[in-house]
Amino acid sequence: MSSSRFVPQSPSNGKIQPLSTIPDYAGLVKYLLQPFLESKESLKVDCEISSSRPRVWIRLAFEGEDKGRVFGRGGRNIQAIRTTMEAAASAAGQSVYLDIYGGTTLEHDSGPPNRSGTRTPLPRSSSAPRSSPRLRSR
């Protein structure tokens, strides 16, 4: 066995290549997410790499219908994607933050918004103290 594979080799021009290169975060996240998407064109990825700190912010946006497939049961799919992105970032000496934006459909809304664009407030509960129910003994 040769131990030379653990020592960085210099190329023929004499310059040493950096050990860690910045991963293609946008390409990696697209590769991981596209199998879950119905319409692959709806995926928007924004990657911001901080120059002062070793941090990367990745912002994702996709259609609301794909949200269930992307997140998976109990968030397993998205957690696996986050873990993969964190592993790629830590190999490059960075930390990664993954923000996800999707369609905002309110399924459990109490009704349509009023004309001003805000929801009607819920009725206030009375300020009188509630009495606890009394139990009868038999």
Which of the pair, 102 or 122, is modelled with greater confidence?
102
Which of the pair, 50 or 76, is modelled with greater confidence?
76
Which of the pair, 131 or 6, is modelled with greater confidence?
131
Is pLDDT at 7 greater than 50 in this prediction?
Answer: no
- Encode burial over 20-33: b for 16+ CB neighbours within 10 A, e otherwise: eeebebeebbeebb
Is pLDDT at 76 greater than 50 in this prediction?
Answer: yes
The arithmetic mean of pLDDT across residues 22-31, rounded, is 92
The arithmetic mean of pLDDT across residues 17-46, rounded, is 85
Is pLDDT at 74 greater than 50 in this prediction?
Answer: yes
Is pLDDT at 81 greater than 70 in this prediction?
Answer: yes
CA 17 to chain centre: 32
Q: What is the mean pLDDT of the chain?
A: 74
Percentage of the chain surpassing pLDDT 90?
A: 41
The CATH superfamily assigned to 21-101 is: K homology (KH) domain (3.30.300.20)
